[in-house]
Chains A and B, each alone.
Chain A
Amino acid sequence: EVQLLESGGGLVQPGGSLRLSCAASGFTFITYGMSWVRQAPGKGLEWVSSIHGGGGSTYHADSVKGRCTISRDNSKNTLYLQMNSLRAEDTAVYYCARTRGWIPWYFDYWGQGALVTVSS
């Protein structure tokens, strides 16, 4: 059974940093791309970042480019999102999702989400 478990969310001040983790199990992690998708309170889904299985290629949304970095440790079956210079508009539930396609075509499994709140 595919399982994705996010951790690392919490309250952070504007300008601060946070690293989200997503522990994966139930599939061969290195053979799948992975992504982060977020959802602000009461809003729709917003794609944040994606990374290939080998970690060699990454994609980031313009809204986080230069502030967020997606990475993965295939030896630990874990996906990360390092977020810096956080702003109030980054407040959202962050989902990790298994990703299909060389560029992201679709997301077939999702974690339960981690809430990030940016506030002073």
Chain B
Amino acid sequence: QSVLTQPPSVSAAPGQKVTISCSGSSSNVGNNYVSWYQQFPGTAPKLLIYENNKRPSGIPDRFSGSKSGTSATLGITGLQTGDEADYYCGTWDNSLSASYVFGTGTKVTVL
């Protein structure tokens, strides 16, 4: 059971904006960098955002990340049909069982 909570699904029309929240605690999101991953069915995850708000080379600026306190947010603007995928946040957790934790995952649907 993940310690990072994401909404199961979000949806919007093409061209619109969606945001995906990632809620954690002081032992993970609150004190460590957050990253975000995009995964299409049957394929490997792909890094979208690292260190809270940085984009790897090749990731369009339609994707953005932010963090405030114990929550992080992924934003996707100018939504495209090709953005339909699952999205996961992730971070290190400093609790007794130190480990890397992923969010529960969010399915983005383009209406």
Complex interface bits, A23-63 against B, C-beta within 8 A gives 1, otherwise 0: 00000000000010100000011110010000000010110
Residues of A within 8 A of B104 (CB): 44
Query: What's the Cα separation between A49 and B56 when bound, in Å?
Result: 23
For chain A, which range describes its interface: under 10, 10 to 19, 20 to 34, or 35 or more residues? 20 to 34
Q: Is B45 an interface residue (CB 8 A)?
A: yes
Q: Is A100 an interface residue (CB 8 A)?
A: yes
Q: Is B47 an interface residue (CB 8 A)?
A: yes
Knowing that A95-B45, A104-B92, A106-B33 are A-B contacts, what are 18 other residue pairs whose CB atoms are under 8 Å apart, sorted by A's residue number?
A44-B102, A45-B37, A45-B39, A45-B45, A46-B102, A47-B90, A47-B99, A47-B100, A47-B101, A59-B99, A103-B98, A107-B47, A107-B90, A108-B47, A109-B47, A110-B44, A110-B46, A111-B44
- Total contacting residues, chain B, CB less than 8 A: 26
Residues of A within 8 A of B88 (CB): 44-45
Quick check: B98 and A47 within 8 Å, CB to CB?
no
Quick check: B44 and A106 within 8 Å, CB to CB?
no
Quick check: A108 and B45 within 8 Å, CB to CB?
no
Complex interface bits, B8-39 against A, C-beta within 8 A gives 1, otherwise 0: 00000000000000000000000011010101
Partner among A50, A62, A105 whose Cβ is within 8 Å of the Cβ of B35? A105
Q: Is A112 an interface residue (CB 8 A)?
A: yes
13 contacts between A and B (CB under 8 A): A44-B88, A44-B103, A44-B105, A45-B39, A45-B45, A45-B90, A47-B99, A100-B50, A103-B98, A105-B51, A106-B50, A106-B90, A112-B44
